[in-house]
Structure 1
Amino acid sequence: MMTNSMIFRTEGQEVFAERTFDAPRELVFKAFTEAEHLKHWWGPRGWELTVCNIDFRPGGVWHYCMKCMDQNQGDFFGVEAWGKALYHEIVQGEKIVYSDYFSDAEGNTADDMPATEVTLTFIEQDGKTKVVNRALYASADAVKTVIDMGMQQGFTETWDRLAEYMASAQ
């Protein structure tokens, strides 16, 4: 079996990640847009999506909580990380554009944490799906902040979980 590694790079104010998943585009798109799919894979290993309220439409909001359930992660065990996305543009099966924020349980955005404009593109490739994530930050310093927080590892583990879920969901 071929391992499908993620391409991850930063360029100034942008972070790019891309990976090809062995699943049809329609299913991969649903995995990013429906709570019943997201709860199976969103977040790094050892973390679970304990709250996932999604209103998937332009102007709609996705408010969620990831909680560390892995006792082996030491100080992170029991920690909750809240996030919020505001959807701007949706092209069914092809593209999602949204603003991504750190937030609290009430959905208030954390102004002291970097927000990002995300464009997700889903490209059909012979029954597989290439996902390209382009994240635009306000500054190169904001990119450094999220990279220093472990963004690349988190992305890799999250997309590994997505690949495993896609294998079981078909």
Structure 2
Amino acid sequence: MPNNNMVSRVENERFLVLERVYDMPRDQLFQLFKEPEHLKRWWSTDGWELPVCNLDFRPGGVWHYCMKCVDKNQEEYGMESWNKTIYKEIIEPEIIVYNDYFSDKEGNINDSMPSPEVTMEFIDLGSQTKLISRSEFDSAESLQAVLDMGLLEGITQTWDSLDALVKSFK
């Protein structure tokens, strides 16, 4: 039985490192990151959905998406959060490197918000995969700003949703 608890740590004040083991072979887990129909099923926090998920999964390609709060019990009900990912490097099924941005509906990047470079590494453990996310921020202050906005809680919920999707394939 895998240990599905996410491990997180800050390294050198500017790097957020997250690790978690998923009970799915690497090739299959990687697929859940490259196809919009899968991303729409797990990439969001509790009470939020992805009504827009435009994905061009290739180096230089863009993933532009909207997370929308659909839970009437949340203070943010109806709120939309637009994001833009620009892929820098993809080595299937091992690594995805991208820049992550806050954006608007048209895809214009919000330069006032932190925009880390993220490296996702998929480590082959046979029938399981260790996922390691390493986000590099331009400063310790930028990292702290997103942590203060609830980034760690949001990623934990998102990775829990990924785990639930993985288990649904069993």
| Unpaired segments ≥5 residues, structure 2 | none
- Whether the 8 Å CA contact 2:10–2:17 is kept in 1: the answer is yes
Question: What's the counterpart of residue 61 of structure 1?
Answer: 62
**SS in structure 1 at match of 2:74:** helix
Provide the TM-score with structure 2 as the length reference. 0.96
User: 1:79 is aligned with what amino acid?
Assistant: M
Identity fraction in percent: 51
- Whether the 8 Å CA contact 2:16–2:136 is kept in 1: the answer is yes
User: 1:70 is aligned with what amino acid?
Assistant: D
* 1:8-157 matched pairs, under 5 angstroms: 8-11=8-11, 12-74=13-75, 76-157=76-157
Once the 2 structures are TM-superposed, how far is the Cα of residue 18 of structure 1 from its aligned partner?
0.8
Alignment partners' CA distance in 1, 2:130 and 2:7: 11
User: 2:67 is aligned with what amino acid?
Assistant: M
- Whether the 8 Å CA contact 2:2–2:21 is kept in 1: the answer is no
Deviations 1:60-105 (A, max 9, x none): 000000001111212x111101000111110011000011000000
- Whether the 8 Å CA contact 2:2–2:23 is kept in 1: the answer is no
| Unpaired segments ≥5 residues, structure 1 | none
Once the 2 structures are TM-superposed, how far is the Cα of residue 2 of structure 1 from its aligned partner?
6.0
User: 1:22 is aligned with what amino acid?
Assistant: D
Alignment partners' CA distance in 2, 1:45 and 1:83: 17
For the aligned residue pairs, the C-alpha RMSD in angstroms reads 1.1
* C-alpha distance 106-165 of structure 1, shift in aligned 2 (>3 A): same
Alignment partners' CA distance in 1, 2:2 and 2:20: 13
Alignment partners' CA distance in 2, 1:109 and 1:59: 16
**SS in structure 2 at match of 1:10:** strand
Provide the TM-score with structure 1 as the length reference. 0.96
Alignment partners' CA distance in 2, 1:102 and 1:40: 21
Deviations 1:99-137 (A, max 9, x none): 100000000000110001000000111310110000000
Once the 2 structures are TM-superposed, how far is the Cα of residue 169 of structure 1 from its aligned partner?
2.7
- Whether the 8 Å CA contact 2:3–2:21 is kept in 1: the answer is no
